[in-house]
Amino acid sequence: MAGPLEGYRIIELAGIGPGPFAGMMLSDMGAEVLRVDRAQSVREGARPPLADILGRGRRSVGVDLKHPQGREAVLRLVEGADALIEGFRPGVTERLGLGPDDCLTRNPKLIYGRMTGWGQEGPYASTAGHDINYIALSGTLSMIGRAGEAPVPPLNLVGDFGGGGMVLAYGVVCGLLEASHSGRGQVIDAAMVDGSALLAAMIHGFRTTGMWGDRGSNLLDTGAWFYEVYETADGGHVSFGSIEPQFFQEMMRITGLADDVDGLGPVPDQNDKSTWPDMKLRMADLVKTKTRDEWCELLEGTDACFAPVLGPSEAPQHPHNRLRGTFTEVEGIVHPAPAPRFSRTSPEIGGPPTHPGQHTDEALLDWGFSADEVAELRVAEAVR
């Protein structure tokens, strides 16, 4: 079955990180995403990089964006596209002659999605950066970590992917929806500093009402002993998120804390923050009395808000993930499956990752170029 974006054509000017993630998301949902790689990246006869999961599901053409005929080829593609996404620093596509004005002149209905770290304007806009810098400036990094320790970068999930590529993909789909009513395109300015701030909206609300204090002292940031990760007897780890009173009581009952299983007396009031540090030590000692599998046997399938901490090689094999198809396999490589799910227009992975320029001829032909035009571009070395 076709995904919900079937029929939409999107050009992706190749980049790294959040741009390809947005391209992957749009492709997973059924859009035809054509990746435009730099001609210099093309290696004739190269094998597809099957482990490049972010590159799955779309074809690639190799184009010299600095060659006049290469630039014109991209603008020809723009004429038949619904959207374009790019992840260059501000001003780069303008200098290439492929900026928003150039493209919207050729296709007034085009959605032009821009992905940057700092945004299209501001004191930092033209400077280099990475995920850690963007989430630092947005204030989000300062909220992540344990009490008395430095902030902990959450991989590059918050800036590059959650606050970057996913926000860009959302913006493109919103733009396409609006264009279907207005008949007019527009420019999407997706910045990781903005997106990572947005992801922390709930925490900003908590701070305003006085419900959120210093890092590592709060309900969701390892401050609470009942919302924490603990090591087990065999060196594994388990997670507890027993916040609501009924779930907290279930955790207390099953672990034995309600019956003073460790002989240390009654458990204090759940919301007495002054007792949280001592209770965390007590809970840590208790969890270390059993292996991860033993805790799973006791707690899985209950309302204690519990789950084992699985490694990346374990997660695809867990019965819950297997039943739901949370992971899938493409050409022998395990991939996270497309998400979310739809009852009628089921998304699917369009194919394995491809190497730059793997489909230059066939894709250009499919997008309206004649065989003679493709041959001319090749002779001119505008495409590879």
**Catalytic residue numbers, as ranges:** 130, 160
Q: Are the C-beta atoms of 212 and 135 separated by less than 8 Å?
A: no
**What ranges in the chain are assigned the alpha helix state H?**
18-28, 68-79, 92-96, 100-106, 131-137, 166-182, 192-199, 201-208, 245-255, 276-287, 292-299, 319-324, 360-366, 371-379
Residue with tokens 């992706």: 12
For residue 324, the one-letter residue type is R
Give which of 158, 163, 169 is closest to 28, Cα–Cα: 169
Q: Can you say whether the dihedral through the CA atoms of 255, 256, 258, 263 is positive or negative?
A: negative
Which secondary-structure segment (H or E) carries 122?
A: none
Give which of 222, 224, 285 is closest to 255, Cα–Cα: 285
Q: Which residues contact 384 (CB under 8 A, 6 or more apart)?
A: 39, 42, 44, 62, 64, 357, 360, 378
**Order of strands, edge to edge, in the sheet holding 227-231?**
227-231, 237-241, 306-308
User: CA 355 to CA 94: how far, in whole Å?
Assistant: 26
Contacts 24+ apart (CB under 8 A), 212-220: 214/147, 215/142, 215/143, 215/144, 215/145, 215/146, 215/147, 215/151, 216/145, 216/146, 216/147, 216/148, 216/149, 217/147, 217/273, 219/243
Residue with tokens 């609300």: 205
User: CA 34 to CA 9: how far, in whole Å?
Assistant: 8
3-state secondary structure of 132: helix
Q: Which residues contact 38 (CB under 8 A, 6 or more apart)?
A: 14, 62, 63, 64, 65, 356
Q: Which residues contact 65 (CB under 8 A, 6 or more apart)?
A: 13, 36, 38, 71, 74, 96, 98
